[in-house]
Structure 1
Amino acid sequence: MDMELNVDPSELQSLGEYEFEKNFDQAAARKWMMENWHIALIFGVTYFILIFGIQNFMKEREAFHLRAPLALWSFSLSIFSAIGAYRVWKLMAFLLLTKGFKQSVCSQSPHIHPVSKLWIYLFVLSKLLELGDTVFIVLRKKKLIFLHWYHHLITLIVCWYSYKDMVASFGWVSALNFSVHAIMYFYYAVTAIGIQIPISIRKIVTITQMVQMTG
């Protein structure tokens, strides 16, 4: 990456950040992730063993329904993702309008700007939380496809390493992923409580998931 394309923090105006966002110590968070990079691998191995262990444990047992917990889980993640999307997009929109698309891709500003730095960090940590999606699948004895657990596993590791290395395009990655997950988890919450969703809406949700995976 051409470091000259990074935007000087002094050029970025205040975008209405909150005090708790400005007070977040991004340097300390990044330092911790750099020093503890192996934790992502440990969580990945634990996740792999756990989900297939639970799946084997459930073979001769009745499936749990878990409608209410799943609805609450999904709705909480939807709200979190919507807030994260709003905060990160606020900076990305500013970069696009004032610096252009190239700068928005090549700048590390999303990692350090007060309005987005906390949410970029929480985005990475949320990949640990989202491993719980698979636990619901195996406890409910739903079909666990390779793409599901592989995606969760690789996303966790890639996001962890991208954050510690302050990958420039991570602003786009987090903004798009937050946005898609806000829709996706709301859809999961609604279906968990038994509301029937039109096929056209289900197709749109699936397409958005597929599109953001290609990014």
Structure 2
Amino acid sequence: MELVEEAKIVAKVSEYAVAYDFEVYDIIGTITWFRKNRNLVYSTIGLYLLAVYFGQKWMKSRPAFKLTLPLFFWNLGLALFSIICTLRGMPELLNFLSKPDGMYLAACVGPPHNFATSFWGLTFVLSKFVELGDTAFIILRKQKLITLHWFHHASILLICWIGYEYYETGGRFMFINAFVHSFMYCYYALKALEIKVPRTISKALTTLQIAQLSYGVYGVFYVLFVWARGRPCRMNLETVVFGGSIFAIFLVLFIRFYRQSYTSHNKSKLK
């Protein structure tokens, strides 16, 4: 099937999502602005890493801040955003995946634009700047800051920015991450209030994160397979290679974290 014909199918399955007035924006102009200002994300990541390093040094000789209510409302706000983002963005992805050859439609076919999905995709990218604040709470409360945390925030911000620059079709899958965050930030909000959450919940959340990363790695190999067969796919090599590398690294780190946190051998060591 030719790309133009598949685009027509996408047009039909996209009709269900009606955008509100505030969700209609200048997509081309925004993409152009992102492409001209990639240095902004590099600068932000650089400042973030400096803040992580010097923030921990600054807090070393100071008592930990409690920050119970600010942390609760912070996580609650991110949870509500993630839920709305999922509700507005996920239906298009699920609709595509339900069609014959749905993985190809979702991952490789671009036009026409769906404003509702596009708008919440943009807000999802911008939310990665906001989520850097998660690290501030860890540092100010003098909790252990693991490598997985700061590396995750910095690299995801960069890959989301680059993905929007190219307006990647595979960006539709970002709403899986929003879905996972809906549960994750609800969990963090409860933990902020010192509500005892069963260990099985945290274990399930880590498992869910591993599952989404595994699906991300699968998606990268799928696009490479499509290219190998000579089939058109509107994805950029930079995003595929960089994104695939990041997903693979995350997958290894999360599996390592799972084993350290939940296996019986390591649980006894932690005790």
What's the TM-score, normalizing by structure 2? 0.73
The answer for the alignment partner of 1:161 in structure 2 is 162
Q: How many residues align?
A: 211
Equivalent residue, structure 2, for 1:116: 117
2:183 maps to which residue? Answer: 183
User: How far does the alpha carbon of each residue in 1:71-94 deviate from its partner, in whole angstroms, 9 at most, with x for none?
Assistant: 100000000001101111111122
Q: Does 1:53 align with 2:59?
A: no
2-side partners of 1:15 and 1:31: how far apart? Answer: 25
Contact kept, 8 Å, 1:91 with 1:115, in 2: the verdict is no
Per-residue CA distance 1:106-162 (angstroms, 9 max, x = gap): 12359x312201000011101101000001000000001111101110111111001
Q: Is the 8 A contact 2:17 2:114 kept in 1?
A: no
Unaligned runs of 5+ in 2: 217-271
> What pairs with 1:34-113 in structure 2 (closer than 5 Å)?
34-98=35-99, 100-109=102-111, 112-113=113-114
State the alpha-carbon separation in 1 of the partners of residues 73 and 111 from structure 2: 34
1:142–1:5 CA distance, 2 compared to 1 (3 A): farther
Cα distance between partner residues in 2 of 1:60 and 1:44:
26
* Structure 1 ranges of 4+ moved more than 4 A: 2-6
Query: Conserved in 2, the CA contact under 8 Å of 1:5 and 1:106?
Result: no
Question: Percent same amino acid at aligned positions?
Answer: 34
Task: Please say which of residues 23-32 and 46-55 is displaced more in the overlay.
Answer: 23-32
Where in structure 1 are there 5+ consecutive unaligned residues? none
Name the structure with the higher helix share: 2
Q: How has the CA–CA distance of structure 1 residues 6 and 53 changed in structure 2, closer, same or farther, with 3 Å as cutoff?
A: farther
Q: Which moved more, 1:137-146 or 1:12-21?
A: 12-21
Q: Greater shift after overlay, 57-66 or 89-98?
A: 89-98
TM value normalised by structure 1: 0.91
Please tell me the residue identity of whatever aligns with 2:91.
K
Report 1 or 2 for greater relative contact order, CA contacts < 8 Å, sequence distance ≥ 6: 1
